[in-house]
Structure 1
């Protein structure tokens, strides 16, 4: 039995234990010429004490060093095209700082134990779709949330600084985040699945669409979109994982994505290339670090002992 599941156990634990968090923090003591102060956008569902506590989680020691906005249920409907409109449900909060041109998007989830489903790379991927660019983003929540509504705070930060994002792209970005999260949750227990692979699939599909538009200068049909999806799934070894229903969801997503101006944006192309390289590098570093440190061998040995103990106890009972 152990030999059958050894590879799966090793891969899962290596991914869970070794995935490094993004190594950056926003310095609120430094005033940037582009936006001035970094902007703290907190959820309207927080009371006064929770607003202060969340600010500390985000690294804000002095409110005088940040601009402050709150995000409401109405904002969620405005930017995402969905939601209940219930401001009391807005819990997750963000700190956003504009950075130099072509720096890309950096995301740090400060409370991974509370942002329970969405990963940093999923936020980056969806933010690129929405038209967010060149910024550092820190996300935190005092209470367990899926994390999907945090995009609202990011969009509010840009809007508050006079950078109006395209409504259609913001709505598609939210559909992307919801769709990829649904697929991730449905497949998380399956052998050979990882959120890293899914992120690479999404990036690759976007790149294929972008390349197609640059080379052909014409609209894509649904059949070509599905081919890009199937090819990307195969490229990242998720053929045995993804269901036909999940492929259909991705096809519906990218049929909407192709109707936005993200498809032939040079900025999107640059940001996707940067993200693709970093996601790929992260996957390689995780494996190499585990291999070189001997952790993979230790995990294998640990579970080998557990299974031996279980089998030994089983034999005694019989």
Structure 2
């Protein structure tokens, strides 16, 4: 009898263990769920429409929501010079979800009822700002029920990222906001010029960050100046970016360094991912400018040098 009881007890323990293991596999921690940030000024219909728009990439997966209001704008954006109040309206919204380690920062602006209502901030600007702010390995989706610049969505991204347990450095957030404002202003000033695109500018900045990451937090102002010169030439912006605009880019990147962003051990890798993502998103632009005919003297000499040494050593040579 005791033997039968022991066997029964053993079977019960095994079954309980299997059920517990199965349940634990199906449980998803709340912190791992995508977070949707809804602007507090949305009407009920607009909230429903925004949720419908932002959850499309989830394929009916679970998510959690938070509301972004004037307090969030004041907390995250005012230290960089904005003038929001606690009563400021917020319409633009966003979703952020963690992605696999090393996948980088991916941003998509989703049309709301067939319209892109984010009037000022581009996907490339969102990517660069997120990188500077300290966000890594995340998929970010942005939309708005009404035409708006998109600042509220970015504050939402900061707030949502903090909710996942990742604390953002306010100095980096300030640098990110200054950077985005500067790049947006430069794009507006050059929008009607041939040979210029926002993608080229942001690709140059992301490339500069990648090079800065290789040097580290002790990089000098003169080194940053040289890196910006190089990236402007690589991205064929030498004829459109004037000296004043170049200095603004240098100043922003000095602020990025001073914010402590370069101390992040994976900053260089995330910057490389942002750079590659911008290039892939604007493939038509970069295919057009990166032809032998359109290469400037700097790129042609660099290409010849690497090709020469590659042949000399009987293989492919990569120079960082």
TM bin (shorter chain): 0.7 to 0.9
Aligned partner of residue 106 in structure 1, secondary structure:
strand
CA RMSD of aligned residues (A): 2.6
Aligned pair 1:92/2:92, yes or no? yes
Native 8 Å contact 1:31 1:38 kept in 2: no
Native 8 Å contact 2:106 2:277 kept in 1: no
Instruction: State how far apart, in whole Å, the 2-side matches of 1:55 and 1:193 are.
Output: 35
Counterpart of 1:79 in structure 2 is 76
Counterpart of 1:261 in structure 2 is 260
Counterpart of 2:10 in structure 1 is none
- Please, which runs of 5 or more residues in structure 1 have no aligned partner? 1-29, 290-318
Instruction: State how far apart, in whole Å, the 1-side matches of 2:27 and 2:227 are.
Output: 43
Aligned pair 1:59/2:55, yes or no? yes
The 5 A counterparts of 1:1-318 are 32-33=28-29, 35-59=31-55, 65-80=62-77, 81=79, 82-111=82-111, 113-213=116-216, 218-221=218-221, 223-284=222-283
- Please, which runs of 5 or more residues in structure 2 have no aligned partner? 1-25, 289-320
Counterpart of 2:16 in structure 1 is none
Q: Which aligned runs of 4 or more in structure 1 are off by greater than 4 angstroms?
A: 30-34, 60-64, 285-289
Kindly provide the CA deviation profile for residues 201-228 of structure 1, in whole angstroms up to 9, marking residues without a partner as x.
1012212222222xxx63523x332222
Q: Which of 1 and 2 has higher RCO (CA within 8 Å, sep 6+)?
A: 1
Instruction: State how far apart, in whole Å, the 1-side matches of 2:254 and 2:97 are.
Output: 32
Instruction: State how far apart, in whole Å, the 2-side matches of 1:283 and 1:65 are.
Output: 32
The offset of 1:128, in angstroms, is 0.9
1:49 and 1:169, CA in 2 relative to 1: closer, same or farther beyond 3 A? Answer: same
Native 8 Å contact 2:39 2:152 kept in 1: no
The offset of 1:166, in angstroms, is 0.9
The offset of 1:239, in angstroms, is 1.2
Kindly provide the CA deviation profile for residues 253-279 of structure 1, in whole angstroms up to 9, marking residues without a partner as x.
122111122224331111111222232
The offset of 1:246, in angstroms, is 1.2
1:36 and 1:284, CA in 2 relative to 1: closer, same or farther beyond 3 A? Answer: closer
The offset of 1:64, in angstroms, is 10
Q: Larger radius of gyration, structure 1 or 2?
A: 2
Counterpart of 1:5 in structure 2 is none
